[in-house]
Amino acid sequence: MALDDPHKRPSAPPGAGRPRSGSAADVPPFAGDEVLPCGRLLSRAWEEAHDAAPPPDPHTVSCPHCREAVEGLATVNAAARALRDEDPPGLRALADRVMDAVRAEVRSGRLLPLADPDRDLRIVESAAAKVLRRAADTVPGSRAATCRLVPEGNGTDVRVTMTLAVALDRPLPDRVHQVRRSVLRSAGQDLGLTVTAVDITVADVLEPGPPLGPRLPTGAGA
Amino acid sequence: MIEQTASPRPGADLPDRLLAVRAAEGDDDSFALLVQRHSRPLLALARCMLDNPQDAEEAVQDAFVGAWRRLPEYRHSAEFRTWMYRITVNRCLTMRRRRPPLLPLDVVAEPATGDAWSQPARTAEQDAATAALSRALAELDAGQRVCWILRELQGLPYKEIAHVTRTSEQTVRGRLFRARRSLQEAMGPWR
Amino acid sequence: MTATGTTALLGVAAEAALAVPGVAALQPRLARRLAAAAAPTRADTTPPEAGIRADRAPDGSGWHIEVRCVLTESRRALDIARNVHDRVTAALITHLATHGAAEPVTVAVTVTGIAVWPDVA
């Protein structure tokens, strides 16, 4: 299942974890690397300061040679911060162009009958799914992932299959029940579809905390 | 816990992987949120990799449109962000091969257009240092440059950089070290 | 161009459909923009309303009209679609009768989108 993604957003900070544990002698140095007077490699001092996950390495914090080596990158860091904070012009226009191109290549999905046996009225699957996902999203602690709709039989019956991401702070059956009710209500009230069943699978866990925000370097040397 | 807050835009609180699943089923609004969320860092990346802003915008646009087309086959083996970075890096590398660099000095965004900068009061000296860094970056070899940008400007961990650039973490670390070394030397006069 | 030719019928159907409350457009605006871009001269190549098709029924007994529309979220999609169906049908029947060309008309309505959110991009 696509949602059972082992590569979930890592909880560790953006650094690479602890770099090589060995001393300078254990690992072949990178080309141009050098051994500091304290015995550490320059590359290791930089990695500890810039890339390692907290807590900070005690040696790096206390060693004057390592500190000096790290400070040698200060100018680069300051300029890098300035570069990072630049807002590239044309960002909004770029997003608009992307979405124009994307909307020209609509993936509509199936055609579904609206609940009128006497007239030829249909709705495309992607439009109906958008509304039903939103109905699922209105249930606190629940967010819809996939939402597929399939016509059943020769009439106007439609079957909905949905996967959800849910928070685990309340019993799952209650939440699934609420979502099903909300989806059925929306299918009737907002769309006008005859939904015979809503098959729901919980496929993911909603993690607490704000899921957004770009991750920026939090290296100890920054 | 996830709260029902009045968010400025429905779906704005959704994690990337849910938006990607929805977008794969044709939900363009979810894709718009992904574009909004990732276009800034991707454009910054492309601008560092390519020699002019127009090429960078083209690369990012192509990358997003390509992602939209490929989303139905995207198996979520990597985070959306990583996947997007990889597509963008590949696109930039292809464009570099197609169009050899002409004016490496043009890497820097035109400075001092007021609100284009998040810190309006930046000094001329800072601008010059940033310009110098951009020039120094432009002179790095492509592999080192990508690693440095992804680490220092985008904050990716080694593992993700290795994934984006299809190489090993050890190689990433070596490139990062050499990039830092070269940049430090190039920025020497600014200390 | 005759008053009962395809082009005229498309115009009548489009006008009737767009007058229905809850109809935002006859198809994503973009598609029309692209169509316009593909035919920059805007001469006879661009149909008056790209969201509508008019065909002769297979047995030649009348017209079959297909309306593809984007709705606003104001009301139930089914009700808006019904309304579009009925008003387009009525407008076409009246138009054909007025021009002495009374023929059966069947109308199909497809909802291609619902503007759930204000323009996100």
Number of structural domains found in chain B? 2
Portion 75-104 of C in contact with A at CB < 8 A: 76-79, 81-82, 85-86
Question: Is there a domain that residue C121 lies in?
Answer: no
Rounded Cα distance between B99 and B77, Å, is: 32
Percent over 70 (pLDDT), chain A: 79
The pLDDT score that the predictor gives to residue B74 is: 84
Q: What is the ipTM of this complex?
A: 0.81
Fold type of domain A111-205: Alpha-Beta Plaits (3.30.70)
Ranges A90-94, B10-14, C66-70, most confident: C66-70
Average pLDDT of the residues in C45-62 = 73
B8-62 tens-digit pLDDT: 466 778 899 999 999 999 999 999 999 999 998 899 888 888 878 889 999 999 9
What value does the mean pLDDT take over residues B132-136?
Answer: 85
For B48-62, letters b (16+ CB in 10 Å) and e give: bbbbebebbbbbbbb
- Which of B101, B131, B154 is the last residue in one of the domains? B101
In this structure, which amino acid lies at residue A120? D
Mean pLDDT for B65-74 is: 92
Element spanning A123, H or E: strand A120-124
Q: Note whether residue B4 is domain-resident.
A: no
What pLDDT is attached to residue A91? 85
Residue B169 has pLDDT above 60, yes or no: yes
User: Is the Cβ pair B39, A94 closer than 8 Å?
Assistant: yes
Calpha distance A111→A48 (Å, rounded): 57
Q: Which of B13, B14, B22, B28 to mutate to test the interface with C (most CBs of C within 10 A)?
A: B28
Q: What is the pLDDT of residue B6?
A: 44
For the record, the structure tokens of C51 come out as: 């969201």
pLDDT of residue C49: 59
Q: Please, are residues A10 and A34 in contact by the beta-carbon 8 Å criterion?
A: no
Residue A120: pLDDT band with limits 50, 70, 90: very high
- A211 in reach of chain B (CB within 8 A): yes
In a domain, B107, yes or no: no
The mean of the pLDDT values for chain B is: 80
**C21 three-class SS:** coil
> Nearest CA of chain B to the CA of C61: how many Å?
38
Question: Is the peptide bond between A55 and the residue preceding it cis, with omega within 30 degrees of 0?
Answer: yes
Rg from Cα positions in chain B:
18
Q: What residue type is B38 in one-letter code?
A: H
Residue A222 in this model has a pLDDT that exceeds 50: no
Chain C partners within 8 Å of A127 (Cβ)? 111-114
Q: By the CB < 8 Å criterion, does A118 face chain C? A: no
3-class state of residue B174 by DSSP = helix
Average the pLDDT over each of B50-64, B79-93, B137-151, C47-61 and give the range with the smallest value.
C47-61
Query: What CA–CA distance (Å, rounded) separates C25 from A130?
Result: 18
Neighbour count for residue B82 (Cβ, 10 Å): 18
What's the number of domains chain C is made of?
A: 1
> Does residue B156 form part of some domain?
yes
CATH number of the domain where residue C62 is located = 3.30.70
Q: Does B104 touch chain C if contact means CB atoms closer than 8 Å?
A: no
| CA-closest candidate to residue B7, choices A164, A117, A212 | A212
B97 with B141, same domain? no
pLDDT score of A38 more than 80: yes
Whether residue B5 lies inside any domain: the answer is no
Contact A146, A163 (CB under 8 A): yes
The rounded distance, in Å, linking the Cα atoms of B81 and A143 is 20
In a domain, B2, yes or no: no
Residue partners of A156: CB distance under 8 A and separation at least 6:
A113, A114, A115, A116, A117, A193, A194
* Residues B40 and B73 grouped into a single domain: yes
In a domain, C120, yes or no: no
- Helix (H) or strand (E) holding A174, with range, is helix A172-186
Report whether pLDDT(C103) > 70.
yes
Q: How far is C108 from chain A (nearest CA, A)?
A: 5
User: What number is the average pLDDT over the span A54-71?
Assistant: 86
Q: How far is CA B83 from the centre of its chain?
A: 12
Nearest CA in chain B to A203: B18
Domain range for B27 is: 14-101
**B64 has pLDDT over 50:** yes
Overall size of chain A counted in residues: 222
Q: How confident is the model at residue B109 (pLDDT cuts 50, 70, 90)?
A: very low
User: Whole-number mean pLDDT of chain A?
Assistant: 81
Does C107 lie at the interface with A, CB-CB under 8 angstroms?
yes
Identify whether B162 is part of a domain: yes
* CA nearest neighbour of B119 among A6, A78, A148: A78
Provide the 3-class DSSP secondary structure of residue B158.
helix
CB of A123 closer than 8 Å to CB of C69: no
Report the distance separating Cα C71 and Cα C74, nearest Å.
8
Alpha carbon distance B25, A201 (integer Å)? 17
| SS3 (DSSP) at C40 | coil
User: A119 to chain B, minimum CA–CA distance in Å?
Assistant: 27
Q: Are B96 and B25 contained in the same domain?
A: yes
Mean pLDDT of the region C4-12: 86
The mean predicted confidence, pLDDT, of chain C is 80
Contact C30/B at CB under 8 A:
no
pLDDT given for residue A10 in this prediction: 38
Average pLDDT over residues A105-134: 94
Beta bridge partners of C64: C55, C106
Q: What is the pLDDT of residues A133-176, one digit of tens each?
A: 999 999 999 999 999 999 998 899 999 999 999 999 889 999 99
d(CA B83, CA B163): 9
pLDDT, tens digit, 9 for 90 and up, residues C26-44: 875 445 545 454 444 444 3
Nearest chain B Cα distance for residue A117, angstroms: 27
pLDDT at residue B114 in the model: 37
Most confident of A96-100, C38-42, C70-74: A96-100
Q: Do the domain assignments include residue B8?
A: no
User: Residue A75: which of B4, B113, B191 has the nearest Cβ?
Assistant: B191
Cβ of B75 under 8 Å from any chain A Cβ?
yes
Give the tokens for residue A123: 């709705």
Domain with CATH 3.30.70.1350 in chain A: 111-205
A210 pLDDT higher than 70: no
pLDDT confidence of residue C76: 95
Q: Cis peptide leading into C48, omega within 30 of 0? A: no
Print the domain residue range for C68. Answer: 6-115
d(CA A215, CA C71): 38
Kindly tell me if the per-residue pLDDT of A212 is higher than 80: no
Q: Please, which pLDDT band fits residue C116 given cuts at 50, 70 and 90?
A: low
Contacts of A107 in chain C (CB under 8 A): none
Mean per-residue pLDDT for B165-178?
A: 92
Interatomic CA distance for residues A154 and C97, integer angstroms: 35
CB contact under 8 Å between A82 and B47, yes or no, is no
> What is the spatial distance between Cα C22 and Cα A13, in angstroms, rounded to a whole number?
48
- Burial grade of A178 (CB within 10 A; 0-12, 13-18, 19 or more): middle
Q: In the block, which residue shows the tokens 């909905």?
A: A160
Count of CB pairs separated by less than 8 Å, A with B? 233
pLDDT at A192 over 70: yes
Q: What is the average pLDDT across A78-103?
A: 84
At B125, the amino acid letter reads E
Q: Name, in order, each residue with C-beta under 8 angstroms of B99's C-beta and a sequence gap of 6 or more.
A: B51, B55
Q: CB C117 to CB B29 under 8 A?
A: yes
**B110 located within any domain:** no
B73 and B136 share a domain? Answer: no
